[in-house]
Structure 1
Amino acid sequence: MEPKSSAIRNEEKEIIVKVKRFSPDKGEWWQEYKLTVDRFTQMTEVLRRIKTEQDPSLSYRAACHMAVCGSCGMKINGAPMLACKTLALQLINEYGSNVITLEPMEWFPRVKDLVVDLDDFYERMYKVKPRLYPSKEVLDGKAEHRLVPEDQRELWKFAQCIWCGLCVSSCPSVKNDPEFLGPAAHAKGYRFLADPRDTITEERMKILIDSSWRCTYCYQCFNVCPRDIEPVTTIKKTRAWSSKMKDKTKVVETGEKHVNAIADTIRRSGKLLEAEVYLRTYGLVQAMTDMVFMIKSGRMKYALIKEVPIKGLNDIEKIMTLGENE
């Protein structure tokens, strides 16, 4: 009898791969492929074998096969993932099925099969000027830049973005607001905004801060990032620079009102008083307009709830003050 460890090591299973095909001439259709995989088989290897052994017409992108280049981003079983970082057997065990679906990333225009057009994504990335602009003295060789360990720790995580586009494909704000740069661009932009060696801070603030207030904090970018970069964290950190901005846009001013109203109501009652926050954020005219909708939809009763302050407000004040001082 074969040892259990050997059985696991030699485990093989047949899978059914359903690919959402597309071509400009035919439109879209689903196509199935069958093959046997073992515990080492990445989804990029699955695609390579399908293309070389069964269907040379299948199109997809892949390069490094080690989660560095970001080329193989796609939807696997409905979730944005890197194919090279995803094992076929792991999917079978996780979903309880030997059927694996592959689709192109959402939001991006499709080119062919799993290949999408990334031109708009790259334009957003280049808008944030993704490189360091050193001082003239450094360029002339008269000085050098030094980065202290504390600054390096702040920047390192956000410098790891591989431009795969998974966060953008899962972001509702990108789809709904063309002025929002997207989570990947913010991760890259903040990496240079917070770099003390950079010399175009004012220009970066104009590029990034208005966009940062357009994020809805759905945390999808946090969930799908294959490098654990947490783009939403960079957006929060970028918003903190708003106080340094000279000419604030309407979006920035509204965002600051919203944050201040939330903090004030929590300090006063220990709760987030949504009706008051909305009124202070958007003003009486907008509130009256939206009140008509609330009355028609039967939601007005929620706005009229009388909130009672919680106990221990002094402790809440201490926590908020501590957070503001960090």
Structure 2
Amino acid sequence: MSDSNTTDFTNPSTFILLGIPGQEAAHIWISIPFCTMYTIAILGNFTILIIVKREPSLHVPMYYFLCMLAITDLVVYTSTLPKMLAIFWFNSREIDFSACLTQIYFIRCFSVMESGILVAMAFDRYVAICNPLRHSTILTNPVVAKIGLAMVLRGGMVSLPYPFLVRQWPYCTTNIIPQPFCTHTAVVKLACADTRVNSYYGFFVLFCVFGLDGIFIAISYILILRAIFSLPTKDARLKTFGTCGSHLCVILTSYFPGLFISLMYWSGQNVPGHIHIFIANLYIFMLPMLNPIIYGVRTKQIQDRLLRLFTHKGA
């Protein structure tokens, strides 16, 4: 295949995505769980958006933030998974250089936005539990809108250097990316230059953005748990803890699997590369599918509104 040969070039117009390297014969079967997750995520997140829009009682900060989370999940899915499925189904491996940079930007941007939204949701739960009488005056609709705008601007600005850094390097050995979509790390590995600035900026984002977000969430829940354990009765403690149970489940599914995958990359030297890629991609696409399920299962208001929605349709 001539377009995937390793030749001398400095600015490739396209890259070749391999999907899951070494597992080309099984791509059709590998596509099944990803296609299933895509369908569930689209239906689940759109259902959340429709329910919150139609139900006035859900027009409160927690559900506004949940809608922001649903939108970020939908954007991450639609910017990556259609191309991934095209590789699995039609062997459509070629991707334009600009489209590759766009994928990198959207993945980074909306990952930062999602992390910020989780912090905002933790703050909402902190105010609701620790200062319930002031919740409606602290988190007003204009304040929620400003928080949402701040998350969008932060994600856009923090992620903006990634495509510019990737674009400036010469690529002189190969244009083959052993991934089903473009990632910053995979593309930078192909550059024929000293790309340490990319690594330094990546570590900066990891520690100063995701690290600080994790610290803020941890502090919020320490204060929340302290307030919960100070309540006089067990029933009151369980009822209050239940109001932040959904968000806590999302936090656990976001951070702990990511930590496990990071440890696997550092210590699992004997694990085949295609297993690394499959598990990492499964983790990336599983979260947007799980978020609406978690809130749908654990939030009575959403369950009731969903039941009424289908009951009226059936009637």
Shorter-chain-normalised TM-score: which range? Answer: under 0.3
Question: Which structure would you say has the larger Rg?
Answer: 1
Relative to total residues, which structure has the larger strand share, 1 or 2?
Answer: 1
Say which structure, 1 or 2, has more relative contact order (CA 8 Å, 6+ apart): 2
User: With structure 1 as the length reference, what TM-score do the two structures score?
Assistant: 0.25
Relative to the length of structure 2, the TM-score reads 0.26
